[in-house]
Amino acid sequence: MNRAGEGTSSIRTATRRTPSTRARGARALVAGVAALAALAALTGCTSAAAAPGRPTVVIGAKQFTEQWIIGELYKQALTDAGYDVELKSNIGSTNIIDGALTSGQIDLYPEYTGVILQVLAEAKSVPTNAADTFNEAKKFQETRGLTLLKPTPFQNRNAVAVKPAFAKEHGLKTISDLKKAGHVVFGEYPDNLEGALGYHDMVKSYGLNDTELKTLNIGLQYTALDHGQVDAADVFTTDPQLAKGGYKILEDTKGYYGFQNVAPVVHRDVLKEQGPGFAKVLNRVDALLTDQAVREMNRAVDTVRLAPSEVADRFLRANHVT
């Protein structure tokens, strides 16, 4: 606050200048800024008008690489097929994005079949194969006015990873072997503490009594393992950082982490509104998503550092979808 020249001197100078010119200047400034703002507001609201009879479809995606890519794949394939779509990427945790879907803020999003049962349906136990997991997840979503389209060939499962040296030192092969390692610091992402896939439930069902929790954002577990800040961590099996090697996956002998294929969760009304071609486009994209394809696209974004939109575009072109 530089208010030098306050008091008497400011009155003197103020009376030397005609006040009206200053007021005009101030008004011009305000008008100018207001015009700018109006312009900004106009450019900000350029959501294209939907084709007649077919409202815009809003696709959601969660907050990690694989979801950004799948979101882009859906968006580009549907846009190319003549549908009017919008993508809202980076939407919080499973419960948040599910809330966004049920409240109609988004119309569809890609979800993992096991997660639907474990986190949303809060199932006590999960099926022992991928097909049953998908069918039960679909049944659950249909009780809520939603449905699942066909699942992807690929799965992205949670797993517990440790450094090979740590595994050798304590002779670890399975998750329950962690009991042999004494005090274990376990890295878990903040979204996965509670619930059927969560840290607390996992240590309970494997009887790991001497673990210490360290919450880490998705994607930071590997550096934490490398630097010895955690001894074990919850990781995703399609993560390119995992594929780079240098980590050992401990066997999930109880099938605790279930089956995790991806399927679009969509409002049934939206499918009706958009017509039969809509699901066909998504099914065609999902059929292409094999383990290898997804891992390579994740690598392109996470390691080569290409934009998810660019990676999706190249993949769809290579497969003649767009």
Partner 1 sequence: MSGGPVIPDFGNPSSCVANDGTFCADWFTAHWSNLFWPALAQHIELTLIAVVIGFAISLAAAVLAHFKGRLAAPVSAVSSFLYTVPPLALFQLLVPVTGFSVLTVEVALVAYSLYLMFTTILTGLREVPEESVRAARGMGLTRRQILFKVELPLALPAVVSGLRVATVMTIGTVAIAAYVIDEGLGSLILKALQSPFNTQFLGAGVLAVALALTADALLVIGGRLLAPWAHTRRAA
Alpha helices in the chain (DSSP H): 8-16, 19-44, 65-80, 94-102, 113-115, 130-142, 164-170, 199-205, 221-226, 240-243, 268-274, 276-287, 291-302, 308-318
Candidate residues 40, 51, 165, 213; the one interacting with partner 1 per rule CB under 8 A:
40
Q: Does residue 5 come out as left (phi exceeding 0), alpha (psi in the -120 to 50 range) or beta?
A: left
Nearest distance, CB of residue 250 and partner 1, angstroms: 23
Candidate residues 31, 36, 50, 165; the one interacting with partner 1 per rule CB under 8 A:
36
Footprint of partner 1 on residues 208-227 (CB under 8 A)?
A: 217-220, 223
Nearest distance, CB of residue 81 and partner 1, angstroms: 18
- Dump the DSSP string for 62-87: -SSHHHHHHHHHHHHHHHHTT--EEE
Q: Which is nearer to partner 1, 44 or 207 (CB)?
A: 44
Cα(first)–Cα(last) distance of the chain, in Å?
58
The answer to whether 3 contacts partner 1 (rule: CB under 8 A) is: yes
Candidate residues 57, 59, 65, 175; the one interacting with partner 1 per rule CB under 8 A:
65
Q: Which is nearer to partner 1, 210 or 269 (CB)?
A: 269
Footprint of partner 1 on residues 79-108 (CB under 8 A)?
A: 88-92, 100, 103, 105-106
Q: Indicate if the alpha-carbon torsion angle 11, 16, 19, 22 is positive or negative.
A: negative
- Residues engaged in binding partner 1 (CB under 8 A): 1-7, 9-11, 13-14, 17, 19-20, 22-23, 25-26, 29, 33-34, 36-37, 40-41, 43-44, 63-65, 68, 88-92, 100, 103, 105-106, 217-220, 223, 287-290, 292-293, 296-297, 299-307, 310-311, 314-315, 317-319
